[in-house]
């Protein structure tokens, strides 16, 4: 009670008039909601991806929607039209709804309606401008903000309520089945207020023809929330008709469900309208979203993309070389989110579904500079025009410009030449089973397999070895392996990272190695060579690494594939680590026909691929395509050209192998321009002086 008395005393000392004026004019909610949720329930905030949307972003999006309604849909009054029903499905503290009402008020005032304007605005706030929110705290603040706005305009709420409802925006759009009706009946008996709120929200979901869906959907999913109806939303995007099929886990992000819900309301129910979301920009070109982009090109007439960049995960940079801040960064209150963002305005006007994509970048380094430029573009679009894109089917229909040679798409993909590849080994217990030195690793593994060494002692040596996970019972695994004994022949060289060869204890049983890759290991032999490459890079394209030993899944990028030059035949796979007696080349029928026509060998094609993928001109000319999918390999018309390229590829492969001596680089005579790099030093008067003389 004492704490409550302190709180009451503090509140009683507040100058209410000054406080509410400040609250209203300076967007004080930003200083309340994010810090409040961060302190009250940081895990919930993180899991749901709750972020305060900067007012410039809100103002821009509302203005864009109003303009699109007027110019694209022919609705003269825009948001002020009584036929336009608006929904923010994740309204938070009500920022978008407040701005929508302000835009409506602006239009009404231009019509010189006098006192009728305020009454019309109140009617809009209670009957056709809606918000859904799943968290109680922002739900309450949204009601407060909208109520304050109407009070300030001289039309305070009496017995009415604004159209903000406590509900899950992703469910409840279809009438309930019998089981759901029974649950709702019980809800009404025990919690009549919640049942009334459910019914009010359902009235909007099933009874109103929503024409505008806008907002800032959550960036993350909360595992405890999803029901089947919600999870099914993204299923519409999991298949493509003509584009490459979706890959990866991107469609599991929560914001994708909001896009599908909005698309369904505008395209399938209203048959016209606008969706305007700011979200993670991964869907613009990610491989997970090929079906989504294909569907949107068919469903929407015009797709406007404002790319706001600011990807801190990949350390995105502005054109001037400075780090690109997320547009959500608010000086003094929030560093914002990590992912890059974009505003997508999706328009159905005539229902033709010709899918014209209009794209532009906002690349200022500072978040406040970018937000200022965004607002300025509303009045000076000619200074920041949209570029009309022609999304390329073979690249997955990206909604971003892509640098690519005109003949690039005619070249075969790398897997079309070398069809077999494997993911590398993923120990997940590196501090136990991986080491720089062979002897130290052997010593540590002998301790692990020694029954006289307690689990507590092993936990001191390697904490992660005794940490149980969903797929790894640390105590049970150790008991099983100790009983069986150490496999002394299973200490193998391990290509851990670029230019970083280590040693690995390869354990064929249990989950001591999280992914042991038993299908890959038999093909690792002394006379084989591997090319490590990722299908999609998080940052710029990374040319392939080369491996001669067992290799890590994370040798290059976060989950690369390893393409072998040779494959052991089935008859020779009796021993995991012994030399193989027979091989077959890892080439496709296409590759086989090609090399036979020009009189070359599979090995030369393999090294040609390495040379091509390391060529700076190739990488720069095709940078857009190289981020989308496996690289494509140009095929020289003559055997002479292929052999010349293969010779360069061999030199590159040798340079990528830290154990291979390379004349002029790691073997004498060293090339002059390399002589002072990491040169030995001599002691002069107790100090060190680098040798700066060129070798003769």
Same domain? For 418 and 449 the reply is no
Residue 369 buriedness (CB in 10 A; 0-12 / 13-18 / 19+): middle
Is residue 629 within 8 Å of residue 623, measured between CB atoms?
A: no
Digit-coded pLDDT (tens) for 23-48: 555 455 555 555 555 555 566 555 55
DSSP assignment of 27-49: TTHHHHHHHHHHHH-HHHHHHHT
pLDDT recorded at residue 695: 44
Q: Which of 513, 544, 577 is the last residue of a domain?
A: 513
pLDDT recorded at residue 580: 47
Residue 628 lies in a domain: yes
Same domain? For 84 and 228 the reply is yes
Distance separating alpha carbons of residues 291 and 273, to the nearest angstrom: 22
Element (H, E) at 23: helix 16-25
Is residue 437 within 8 Å of residue 503, measured between CB atoms?
A: yes
Residue 101 lies in a domain: yes
Residue 359 lies in a domain: yes
Number of domains forming the structure of the chain = 4
Residue 619 contacts by C-beta under 8 Å, 6 or more apart in sequence? 541, 543, 613, 626
Q: Which of 513, 541, 568 is the last residue of a domain?
A: 513
Same domain? For 492 and 563 the reply is no
Closest listed residue to residue 284, CA positions, set 305, 313, 258: 305
Residue 555 lies in a domain: yes
Digit-coded pLDDT (tens) for 114-152: 778 888 999 999 999 999 999 888 899 899 999 999 988
Residue 49 contacts by C-beta under 8 Å, 6 or more apart in sequence? 218, 219, 220, 254, 255, 337
Is residue 513 within 8 Å of residue 577, measured between CB atoms?
A: no
Same domain? For 567 and 499 the reply is no
pLDDT recorded at residue 128: 97
Same domain? For 20 and 100 the reply is yes
DSSP assignment of 575-597: -SSSPPS-EEE---HHHHHHHHH
Distance separating alpha carbons of residues 490 and 578, to the nearest angstrom: 11
Residue 33 lies in a domain: yes
pLDDT recorded at residue 683: 58
Same domain? For 562 and 484 the reply is no
CA distances from residue 500 to 151, 492, 548 in whole angstroms, order as listed: 67, 14, 12
pLDDT recorded at residue 689: 55
Same domain? For 432 and 526 the reply is no
pLDDT recorded at residue 687: 58
Taking the CA of residue 474 as centre, how many other CA atoms within 13 Å lie in the half-sphere pointing to its CB? 17
Residue 146 lies in a domain: yes
Q: Give me the residues of the chain with pLDDT under 50, please.
A: 26, 222-225, 571-574, 580, 692-696
Same domain? For 389 and 439 the reply is no
Q: What is the CATH number of the domain that holds 60?
A: 3.40.50.150
Is residue 281 within 8 Å of residue 342, measured between CB atoms?
A: yes
Residue 400 lies in a domain: no
**Residue-number span of the structural domain to which 485 is assigned:** 428-513
Same domain? For 28 and 116 the reply is yes
Same domain? For 549 and 612 the reply is yes
DSSP assignment of 512-550: SSSB--TTTGGG--TT--EEEE-SS-SSS--PPEEESSE
Same domain? For 627 and 582 the reply is yes
Residue 163 lies in a domain: yes
Q: Which of 493, 513, 533 is the last residue of a domain?
A: 513
Same domain? For 66 and 139 the reply is yes
């Amino acid at each position: 009670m004492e704490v409550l008395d302190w709180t009451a005393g503090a509140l009683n000392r507040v100058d209410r008039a000054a406080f509410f004026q400040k609250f209203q004019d300076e967007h004080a909610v930003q200083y309340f909601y994010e810090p409040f949720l961060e302190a009250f329930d940081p895990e919930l905030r993180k899991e749901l991806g709750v972020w305060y949307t900067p007012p410039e972003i809100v103002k821009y999006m509302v203005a864009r929607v109003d303009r699109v309604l007027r110019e694209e849909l022919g609705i003269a009054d825009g948001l002020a039209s009584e036929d336009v029903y608006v929904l923010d499905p994740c309204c938070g503290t009500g920022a978008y709804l407040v701005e929508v009402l302000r835009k409506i008020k602006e239009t009404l005032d231009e019509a010189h309606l006098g006192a009728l304007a305020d009454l019309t605005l109140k009617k809009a706030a209670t009957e056709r401008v809606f918000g859904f929110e799943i968290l109680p705290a922002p739900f309450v603040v949204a009601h407060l903000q909208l109520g304050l706005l109407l009070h300030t305009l001289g039309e305070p709420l009496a017995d009415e309520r604004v159209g903000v409802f406590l509900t899950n925006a992703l469910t409840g759009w279809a009438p309930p089945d019998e089981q759901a009706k029974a649950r709702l009946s019980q809800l009404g008996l025990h919690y009549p207020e919640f049942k009334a709120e459910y019914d009010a929200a359902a009235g909007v979901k099933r009874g109103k023809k929503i024409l505008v869906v806008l907002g800032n959907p959550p960036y993350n999913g909360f595992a405890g929330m999803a029901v089947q109806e919600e999870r099914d939303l993204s299923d519409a995007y999991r298949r493509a008709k003509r584009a490459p099929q979706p890959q990866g886990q991107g469609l599991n992000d929560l914001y994708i469900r909001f896009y599908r819900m909005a698309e369904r309301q505008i395209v399938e129910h209203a048959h016209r309208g606008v969706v305007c979301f700011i979200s993670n920009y991964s869907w613009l070109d990610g491989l997970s979203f090929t079906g989504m982009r294909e569907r949107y090109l068919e469903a929407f007439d015009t797709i406007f993309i404002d790319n706001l960049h600011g990807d801190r995960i990949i350390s995105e940079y502005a054109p001037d070389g400075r780090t690109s801040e997320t547009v959500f960064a608010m000086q003094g209150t929030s560093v914002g989110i990590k992912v890059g963002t974009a505003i997508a305005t999706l328009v159905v006007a005539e229902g033709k579904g010709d899918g014209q994509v209009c794209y532009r970048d906002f690349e200022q380094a500072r978040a406040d500079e970018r937000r200022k430029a965004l607002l300025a573009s509303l009045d000076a679009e000619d200074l920041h025009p949209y570029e009309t894109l022609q999304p390329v089917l073979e690249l997955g229909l990206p909604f971003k410009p892509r640098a690519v040679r005109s003949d690039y798409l005619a070249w075969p993909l790398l897997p079309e030449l070398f069809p077999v590849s494997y993911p590398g080994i993923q120990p997940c217990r590196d501090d136990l089973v991986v080491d720089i030195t062979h002897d130290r690793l052997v010593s540590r593994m002998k301790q692990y397999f020694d029954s006289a060494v307690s689990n507590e002692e092993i936990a001191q040596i390697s904490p992660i070895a005794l940490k149980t996970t969903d797929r790894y019972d640390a105590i049970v695994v150790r008991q099983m392996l100790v009983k069986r004994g150490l496999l002394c022949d299973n200490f193998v060289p391990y290509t851990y990272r670029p230019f970083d060869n280590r040693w690995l204890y390869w354990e064929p049983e249990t989950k001591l190695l999280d992914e042991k890759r038993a299908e890959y290991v038999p093909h690792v032999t002394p006379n084989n060579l591997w090319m490590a490459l990722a299908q999609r890079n998080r940052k710029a394209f990374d040319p392939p690494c080369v491996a001669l030993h067992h290799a890590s899944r994370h040798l290059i990028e976060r989950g690369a594939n390893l393409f072998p030059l040779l494959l052991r035949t089935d008859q020779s796979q009796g021993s995991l680590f012994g030399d193989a007696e027979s091989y077959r080349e890892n080439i496709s029928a296409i590759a086989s026909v090609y090399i036979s026509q020009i009189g070359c060998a599979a090995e030369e094609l393999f090294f040609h691929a390495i040379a091509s993928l390391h060529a700076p001109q190739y990488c720069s000319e095709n940078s857009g395509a190289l981020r989308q999918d496996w690289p494509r390999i140009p095929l020289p018309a003559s055997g002479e050209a292929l052999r010349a390229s293969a010779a360069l590829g061999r030199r590159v492969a040798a340079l990528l192998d830290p154990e291979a001596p390379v004349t002029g680089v790691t073997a004498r005579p060293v090339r002059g321009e390399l002589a002072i790099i990491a040169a030995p030093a001599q002691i002069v008067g107790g100090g060190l002086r680098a040798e700066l003389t060129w070798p003769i």
